[in-house]
């Protein structure tokens, strides 16, 4: 018996193999289907997907063999990976000096015939083989060999897909940890900055009272500027916190409620002034959905319809429909509208249309991003159409509980 030589690129080959994170994983149907098909096509007793580790060969899939790994010194596949571009065919191992004294040939008498196709990754490293084995001498037809090569190609594709999925899962876990860190940061900011801002606002009012009549009009206006800026900063902090905490709303269980009663609660929270008219859905449907998440969506959309409205009389119309799977909502206002060149980015975080609200303040680009995130988490979609200086319509849907 001749032990296979170590490939010249062994260190890098092993790194490539380890990067797949596939060694010692559970058996998977996708790989087992391939080895099952290999035994059928080639008419052999055994088929293996064998990966050559440092001191062993480990089988990701096996047909007709009980053991899960063997020592590398006895491996036919260790010889096969030495020539990644060509299959290794051993018609009768008893006549081949490399294998005639191999335990699988002499003692177990299962390794008489062997055909192995190297499994080569995109960087050219032979990681192992797809091989078929039989206890009798055998020859494969050209068609059988080509089919075996095709199956081996499918194995390498599966390896790459598995690696991409693993990398994606790692990235998602990392992103989740980072998102949690941002949430924690937002909470700290909310706690540590909002209280000082409240102190600034109250101190500003106190100073105005104390200094009333002692400063000129322009100087007194600076206090109003400080107060307005402090309120804007406080609202900005609240919106950032709301954005990062919005995902927690998704975990709430569905509730059943009348839509119009629900909308009137939101209008009451917004402290609507008399110059406001809202038309509720005539059908007043009963909804069964995540009430708190939907509340956050409507609160932002109705709030925006009021803030970005330059008409003397604000008018908002809300429509609702449904089918077997989704609830559909439409909110139309007679406000400022959105410029055409900015409508495609209106849902991007921290992106705002180049306009100020009816009080002269510019938005922070958080509210609509939060709305879009919540809608998508509820397995829905949201779209906007707008005619500048005339109206804006938001259409969105959310999936019903399954």
Tell me the pLDDT tens digit for each residue of 340-399. Answer: 888 888 888 655 555 666 665 655 567 788 889 889 999 999 999 999 889 999 999 999
What is the Cα gyration radius of the chain? Answer: 34
Of 302, 234, 236, 316, give the one whose Cα is nearest residue 269.
302
- Per the structure block, which two tokens stand in for 269? 């929270």
Q: Inform me whether the pLDDT recorded for 35 exceeds 90.
A: yes
Query: What is the C-alpha separation between 166 and 225, in angstroms, rounded?
Result: 53
Query: What is the C-alpha separation between 272 and 303, in angstroms, rounded?
Result: 10
The answer to whether the beta carbons of residues 23 and 112 sit under 8 Å apart is no
pTM of the model: 0.53
Tell me the torsion sign for CA atoms 37, 40, 43, 47.
positive
Q: What is the DSSP-derived secondary structure letter of residue 342?
A: G
For residue 110, list its beta bridge partners.
none
User: How high is the pLDDT of residue 23?
Assistant: 94
Query: What is the C-alpha separation between 226 and 200, in angstroms, rounded?
Result: 8
Domains and CATH numbers, the chain: 10-169 (3.30.450.40), 252-402 (3.30.565.10)
* pLDDT tens digits for range 198-256: 778 788 888 878 887 777 877 777 777 777 767 666 665 666 666 556 566 677 789 99
Gap between the terminal Cα atoms of the chain:
63
Q: Which 3 state secondary structure label does DSSP give 165?
A: helix
Query: What is the C-alpha separation between 225 and 241, in angstroms, rounded?
Result: 24
* pLDDT tens digits for range 159-185: 999 889 888 888 888 887 877 776 676
Query: What is the C-alpha separation between 213 and 202, in angstroms, rounded?
Result: 19
User: How many other β-carbons are positioned within 10 Å of the β-carbon of residue 141?
Assistant: 10
* pLDDT tens digits for range 287-317: 999 988 898 899 889 988 888 888 888 999 9
Task: Output phi, psi for 91, to 5 deg.
Answer: -70, -35
Query: What is the C-alpha separation between 277 and 259, in angstroms, rounded?
Result: 17
State the number of CA atoms in the 13 A half-sphere of 23 facing the CB.
17
Between 12-21, 27-36, 202-211, 290-299, the lowest mean confidence (pLDDT) is in 202-211
Calculate ∠ Cα 277-280-283, nearest 5°.
155
| pLDDT higher at 362 or 10 | 10
Cα 189 to Cα 182, 197, 204, 236, 242: the distances in Å are 10, 11, 22, 11, 12
For residue 69, list its beta bridge partners.
58
The answer to whether the beta carbons of residues 343 and 219 sit under 8 Å apart is no
Average pLDDT, the chain: 86
| pLDDT higher at 216 or 120 | 120
Q: Are strands 314-322 and 276-279 parallel, antiparallel or unpaired?
A: parallel
């Amino acid at each position: 018996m001749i032990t296979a030589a170590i490939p010249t690129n062994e260190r890098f080959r092993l790194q490539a193999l380890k990067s797949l994170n596939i060694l010692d994983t559970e058996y998977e149907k996708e790989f087992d289907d391939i080895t099952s098909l290999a035994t059928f096509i080639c008419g052999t007793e055994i088929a293996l997907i064998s990966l050559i580790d440092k001191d062993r060969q480990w089988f990701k899939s096996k047909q007709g063999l009980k053991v899960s790994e063997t020592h590398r010194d006895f491996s036919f596949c260790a010889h096969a990976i030495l020539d990644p571009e060509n299959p290794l065919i051993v018609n009768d191992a008893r006549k081949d000096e490399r294998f005639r004294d191999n335990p699988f040939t002499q003692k177990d008498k299962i390794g008489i015939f062997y055909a192995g196709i190297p499994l080569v990754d995109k960087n050219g490293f032979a990681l192992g083989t797809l091989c078929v084995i039989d206890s009798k001498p055998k020859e494969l037809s050209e068609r059988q060999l080509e089919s075996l090569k095709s199956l081996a190609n499918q194995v390498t594709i599966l390896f790459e897909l598995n690696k991409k999925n693993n990398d994606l899962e790692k990235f998602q876990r990392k992103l989740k940890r980072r998102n949690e860190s941002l949430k924690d940061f937002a909470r700290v900011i909310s706690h540590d900055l909002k209280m000082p801002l409240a102190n600034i606002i109250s101190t500003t009012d106190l100073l105005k009272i104390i200094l009333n009549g002692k400063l000129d009009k322009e100087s007194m206006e600076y206090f109003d500027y400080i107060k307005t800026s402090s309120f804007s900063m406080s609202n900005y902090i609240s919106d950032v916190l709301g954005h990062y905490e919005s995902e927690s709303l998704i975990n709430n269980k569905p509730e059943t409620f009348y839509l119009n009663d629900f909308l009137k609660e939101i209008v009451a929270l917004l402290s609507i002034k008399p110059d406001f008219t809202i038309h509720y859905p005539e059908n007043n449907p009963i909804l069964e959905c995540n009430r708190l998440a939907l509340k956050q969506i409507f609160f932002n959309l109705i709030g925006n319809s009021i803030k970005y409205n330059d008409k003397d009389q604000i008018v908002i119309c809300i429509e609702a429909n449904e089918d077997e799977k989704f609830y559909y909502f439409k909110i139309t206002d007679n406000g400022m509208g959105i410029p055409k060149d900015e409508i495609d980015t209106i849902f991007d975080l921290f992106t705002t249309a180049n306009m100020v609200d009816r009080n002269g303040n510019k938005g922070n680009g958080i509210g609509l991003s939060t709305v879009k995130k919540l809608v998508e988490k509820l397995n829905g979609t949201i779209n906007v159409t707008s005619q500048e200086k005339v109206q804006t319509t938001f259409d969105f849907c959310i999936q019903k509980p399954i």
